[in-house]
Structure 1
């Protein structure tokens, strides 16, 4: 039965009804996660308070240290992305940035938040609830049939359900998604968010997973929330104060993060120390600080008076900075509400002292202060108003909230634009702009742009034999089936093989897969790729109003990606704008006197090639009287900043020391550095710019993607296109020869007749010759006759310059790489030197070898000797 259900799903196109049902399921799961989180925090927190009452104050710092360290260990070894509040990660994922939302991170976030908040850290659980809800929605969308576009909506619905379950405010969950996370008010976004948020809130109330019910608190205290026009100046003052304090709070959070990162401590130690400090401070404060859950109610009711409230505001402010900066999993919603309630209460006390309008309104200021501070921190005034209104269920509070929240928003935005979550992402190198969100290739290219058309299709009335004959004559493995111009099915070789040998007469209509999965012409490629993977398809029909207009295969998508990547031209941008992630970080370096004529950079990566590469670079540096810069890079995950990642530098130090010992034999000024980075190619570009590198020498395997048009791997390809200096790639010899080491070498230099500018070769060739032993040179002019050889004068000039024999011959057109390799074998050549330059007619940094696209790669793969590829710096006007 289960297999038949899966077969039914494969035959069905993706329907929004599935997504709406999933939204309800997401609401239930989010509410259960919120209940688990609340119960776990309550149990651990209650045990901690009981232990303090029984054993004394020292339990507070001890619990903070132990549980903080345990949480840090879980984060470091299981899911580093679960650190912090989690809402910035959700916001980045909804902006289509490649960040992780896995089930493991949700479980670690759940467990870590219980440890942290149960241990007494002054953070909130609503941010983690939003993160957990979004993560569970992302995981659920992978298990159930969901299109990529619907998956994004469901992640947002999970976030809404998490907020609704955490605060018991279903409307606020919907508004928060629209106002902060997605800025999207499309019908489907609202439908899924409403269903998930409503379901999460209902289940939350049934299971009592949220204790936030200020309406009950108000009725128990006998308050009357009132508002008169004479109080407007004081609510304006509250909004101004909250706006200023919110900006200071955000700046403090960012400063705390930078401070902890500057310590370069591992995350378990950071969180453990933060817990120790927080517990020690709380132990010195009045006893009501030990219960975070009841502190907000204590401040709203004003039971401690304005003196205790002022102490609470200051203490909670700094305790939150200490806790959040360490990377502990916990949110900022609750701290913002607590600080806002204390600020509002103090403004209310001032109003009563100055105007004397009665103490009943002080609590109104406390509630309005919660919304104003929340607005100033998160920059979502509508969400703040709705949250407080839903928690109090009092219409009299709407006008004070609107005045305070609007004023706080205007003041905060005037001083510092953008919410705290945007600033937290920017601190990680992710500059998220609402108006220009990330636009990946698969999202901006549509099916219509890459589909194949016209399409070979079959009619439903074909017999089995006729269908078999069509497949035998065609290279295609599948065909769409149409009837009256409309797509009604699809037939593949697999379907045909299942019914071969049956005796009863069958038509194509009887054996085809009916109601096949299809896609519209405007669908982005990310949806096309998802459908191909989800239903294990090789072909995906493209339909417009049920009419077949094209077909897409995986090869079409790969070709579109390659073309888009080749067309991109980011090299004219400054390095600071090209770096993906954060800049690299130097963890070790040595410096020699800067007495050379220029610098040569050698990235050292492979222990097997370090000797040959260093000898090659040292010989050239000695010839040029240049300095040698040795670099080893350690790649770190994107969720860890390069300047705080925990790495083992032993191998890198050993490689640098080995290379430095070789270079010292050449009496060169040698510099070394060891760097951590997110992306090696960008780190090398940074070093080239910082150290004024004139020549980059790298190892080259020469066997990367020969038949796809790509000559190089990602790292070497980026350097060939982007490096502003001369670049030399070296593929060492694989020959096992009995030749005497003192014997001369023969170098083959094939040049196409179209390569008119060989000045860079004439400049670099004498330097490269320094690694050989009195080499002989053989210039081979490709696609030319002896009478049309344009390099004859150059050969004579080089012979004088190199003081070595230089021969010249031609190979007629068309010349293949096999002819060049055969010539190298016949002439017993040891080295082949290839020259590639920038296209003179192209404004971009595209490369031109003037041969077939895969010529250098095939030569490097098949030639057993040494291959040197030269890419000179582009001439600047």
Structure 2
């Protein structure tokens, strides 16, 4: 049976501390408590201690999930059904967001035929008004709801990395309302990022509502991302590739697990796209590009376009990051910061062109039709970058997807004009260059080449330019990574202190310093110390001493093992001094401010077990032992990995994850329910009935000896090894004695 739990009264265990911000003293759930809570309610925590209506609503979700599980009775089918539900709901949410944005456009006044003064007042005042409304939403979210803002892709990646994908529905509602206000009032941003975040929230909320285990929780969050982007862009393949490459790739280093994670993405993307078609009809987001046959000589121009896109995409990311920092350090009320950014955007529009306002889809379509002049494109190229940085950096609601496509279209138009100037009328159309520029800028900003290749193809249904598009995206990412090791999203998370899965080991060692682990300095030897004293220190005390000169500066060391060999062979003259007995191997010197990552590298390249820590005059201030360095690495890095494996296998915050053991075998856990309680493993006969083998028996946090004749207790945890079919059979296994009901685990 699919993994939901039978309903039972909540035991009053405390709620999840993450769900109650500000309560720093909230009781943390131990692994045993979480296991009991999972068996009792299907959640990882007890049913919420809220109003009667909230408790009834939570109970309703659990009952619905359990009833559906009983009807389906197959993990894979249940997973597909839930992914379809998440995808459809994400598509509805994306459609509602687009409808709200269209209404917001009509909500804000736009006097077209008025005097210059009125036009200036409207172009500047309307964005400022929207900025004030956005600031009000920030105030509500922080002071009243007291939850972090989940507006774009970085917030989703952070939720997956830090909170096992938990996103609250209220966060998504605020993000959706703010996105409509910001874009409708003229903010320079797009709706696609919020659409993905709202889809992720839908997946998280539905996973909790139906009581899904955590190994499916993340799959539903990913399904929501795929469904949301597919509905927003009308691009199902792009939704799947984007979730794998950017969302899961950023959160867990690209390890998306088995097909139990990948299949829901496909199902949700298809469901989201069908829902989008039902709401808005089947349509192309961008117009069809008119182009000719690209000449081989033009590939050089496409390469130049890719290189420029790599530089410009990186500059765009830096502009957004820099502007965000500036507004964060600005001593002004949160209410006013988005309005200040909107004032800058409105001023740019009033001085140059209204085309910098909003997402800019009309301008993109003009570029794809070859009707955008290169002079205007060149001006909009820089203005849009600044306007986007002001909008997003000041706290406006929206993403950078559409602005990156806008900037790419302008850049491609300019390069296309150069191609026509150099090659004449036979050159490829400027629209073709605009299309490749869109993909290249997107790829450079996100440092993800696959998503824009698939996305641009789905948005235009144009396969003729696939080769220049692929080349442009790959080269743009190559250039961007030479300029910055992180993408825009990764840099935002890095600034927030979020350590991504594939960066964990390096970051842990980089954040520590040699001063944290160094020991007091041992006694040193001067260069003139006699052989007898050297032998006593090195051989009798069993350590390799450091040698210093008259000023106390470290000049070398004596290898105790090498000295012992020389003594055995009679190679140590009686009148030898310490300077004569020093090893020829160059000594690595560390400073207290060096990172532990650098110390680890130095230790690996040195034969010394103890490295000297010196000041800037090379005077010994301490030592760093290789054993201490490895112990720190084991504790901080390998220990965390072991904890993660423990969490994935024996409970904790992500109880329910399975572990692949190879050749089709997996390790999973079964929580003993009431109908197995009191029976023994011999009574159950799991191995003979299903082929699955019990390899561990936990009661609370204590492991028990596997005694086939000992009775099981309610909430005991059995670690079971077998194929997926064998473990599913164990869950569905009927009674082995007459009159005993089938277990519900």
Cα displacement string for residues 452-508 of structure 1 (whole angstroms, at most 9, x for unaligned residues): xxxxxxxxxxxxxxxxxxxxxxxx9943455665359xxxxxxxxxxxxxxxxxxxx
Q: Deviations over 1:372-416 (max 9, x none)?
A: 000000011011111111111121110010111111011111111
Aligned-pair distance for 1:537? 6.8
Secondary structure of the residue aligned to 2:464 is helix
Q: Specify the alignment match of 1:341 in structure 2.
A: 409
What does 1:684-833 align with in structure 2 at a 5 Å threshold? none
Q: What runs of 5+ residues in structure 1 fail to find an aligned partner?
A: 452-475, 489-513, 529-535, 552-877
Q: Identify if the C-alpha distance between structure 1 residues 521 and 344 changes in structure 2 by more than 3 Å, giving closer, same or farther.
A: farther
Asked if the contact 2:419/2:427 (under 8 Å) is kept, the reply is no
> Does 1:200 find its partner at 2:260?
no
1:332 correspondence with 2:395: no
2:727, 2:355 → 1: CA distance? Answer: 70
**Alpha-carbon distance in 2 for matches of 1:93, 1:211:** 33
For the 8 Å contact 1:368–1:404, the answer to whether it is kept is yes
Structure 2 residue aligned with 1:218 = 288
Check 1:420–1:448 CA distance in 2 against 1; reply closer, same or farther (3 A cut): closer
1:118 equivalenced with 2:317 (yes/no): no
Distance 1:63 1:541, change over 3 A: same
Does structure 2 retain, via aligned residues, the 8 Å contact 1:89–1:99? no
Contact in 2 for aligned 1:225/1:397 (Cα 8 Å)? no
Which of 48, 57, 79 is residue 19 of structure 1 equivalent to? 79
Once residues 80 and 685 of structure 2 are traced to their aligned partners in structure 1, the CA distance between those partners, rounded to angstroms, is: 29
In the alignment, does 2:117 pair up with 1:45?
A: no
Equivalent residue for 2:348? 281
Match of 1:378 in 2: 446
Corresponding position of 1:105: 171
Could you state the TM-score of these two structures normalised by the residue count of structure 2? 0.59
The answer on whether the counterparts of 2:136 and 2:335 sit within 8 Å (CA) in structure 1 is yes
Tell me whether 1:137 sits opposite 2:203 in the alignment.
yes
Aligned position for 2:715: 538
Q: Paired residue for 1:76?
A: 139
Q: Residue 64 of structure 1 aligns with which residue?
A: 127
**Is 1:243 aligned to 2:310, yes or no?**
yes
Give the 3 Å change call, closer, same or farther, for CA 188–136 of structure 1 in structure 2.
same
- Matches of 1:281 and 1:383 in 2, distance apart? 31
Q: Are 1:421 and 2:489 counterparts? A: yes
Confirm or deny: 8 A CA contact 1:225 1:363 kept in the other structure. Answer: no
Q: 1:196 to 1:519 in 2, by over 3 A?
A: farther
Deviation readout 1:668-687 (Å, 9 max, x if unpaired): xxxxxxxxxxxxxxxxxxxx
Q: Which residue of 2 aligns with 1:146?
A: 212
Over 3 Å counting, the alpha-carbon distance change for 1:446 and 1:416 in structure 2 is closer
**TM-aligned CA distance change 1:73 to 1:28, over 3 Å:** same
Alignment CA distance shift 1:401-1:49 (3 Å): farther
Q: What is residue 678 of structure 2 aligned with on the other side?
A: 479
Tell me, yes or no, if structure 1 residue 312 matches structure 2 residue 372: no
Relative to 1, partners in 2 of residues 1:200 and 1:547: Cα closer, same or farther, differing over 3 Å? closer
**Structure 1 residues 347 and 49: CA distance shift in structure 2, 3 A:** farther
**Structure 2 vs 1, CA of residues 7 and 99 (structure 1 numbering), >3 Å: closer, same or farther?**
closer
Supply the distance in 1 between the matched residues of 2:697 and 2:681 (Cα, whole angstroms): 21
Change (3 A) 1:370 1:161: same
Whole-angstrom distance in 1 between the partners of 2:113 and 2:279: 30
Verify the 8 A CA contact 1:164 1:200 in the aligned structure 2.
yes
The yes-or-no answer on 1:262 pairing with 2:315 is no
- 2-structure distance, mates of 1:543, 1:196: 31
Q: 1:415 to 1:287 in 2, by over 3 A?
A: closer
Describe how 1:468-867 pairs up with structure 2 within 5 A. 478-480=677-679, 482=681, 485-487=684-686, 538-545=715-722
Change (3 A) 1:325 1:238: same
Alpha-carbon distance change, 394 to 60 in structure 1, aligned in 2, over 3 angstroms = same
Once the two structures are TM-superposed, the CA of residue 348 in structure 1 deviates from its matched residue by 0.7
- Residues of 2 paired with 1:420 and 1:347: CA distance? 24
Counterparts of 2:330 and 2:463 in 1: how far apart (Å)? Answer: 49
Q: Distance in 2 between matches of 1:522 and 1:311?
A: 69
Give the distance between the partners of 2:429 and 2:438, measured in 1 at CA. Answer: 15
Q: Which moved more, 1:96-105 or 1:414-423?
A: 96-105
Residue in 2 that maps onto 1:229: 296
Q: Please tell me whether the aligned partners of residues 368 and 409 of structure 2 are also in contact (alpha carbons under 8 angstroms).
A: yes
Pick one of 225, 229, 251 that aligns with 1:159: 225
Closer, same or farther in 2 for the Cα pair 1:5/1:98, shift >3 Å?
Answer: closer
**What CA distance in whole angstroms lies between the structure 2 residues aligned with 1:480 and 1:315?**
73
> How far did residue 268 of structure 1 move?
1.7
Secondary structure of the equivalent of 1:213?
coil
Contact 2:160 2:166 in 1 (8 A): no
In structure 1, distance between residues paired with 2:429 and 2:163: 46
Larger Rg: 1
Q: CA RMSD in A?
A: 3.8
Where 1:543 maps in the other structure, the secondary structure is: strand
Choose from 369, 373, 387 the match for 2:437. Answer: 369
Q: Is the 8 A contact 2:95 2:280 kept in 1?
A: yes
Q: State the shift of 1:30 in Å.
A: 1.2
> Which structure 2 residues correspond to residues 462-473 of structure 1 after superposition, within 5 A?
none
Answer with 15-24 or 390-399: which moved more: 15-24
Distance 1:153 1:101, change over 3 A: same
Q: 1:395 to 1:537 in 2, by over 3 A?
A: farther
User: Contact 1:129 / 1:163 at 8 angstroms: preserved in 2?
Assistant: yes
Q: 1:285 to 1:547 in 2, by over 3 A?
A: closer
Q: Does the residue aligned with 1:56 lie in a helix, a strand or coil?
A: helix
Q: Say which is worse superposed, 290-299 or 152-161, in terms of deviation.
A: 290-299
Going from structure 1 to structure 2, the CA distance change for 1:299 and 1:480 (only over 3 Å counts) comes to farther
Q: Distance in 1 between matches of 2:648 and 2:363?
A: 55
8 Å CA contact 1:165, 1:210 repeated in 2:
no
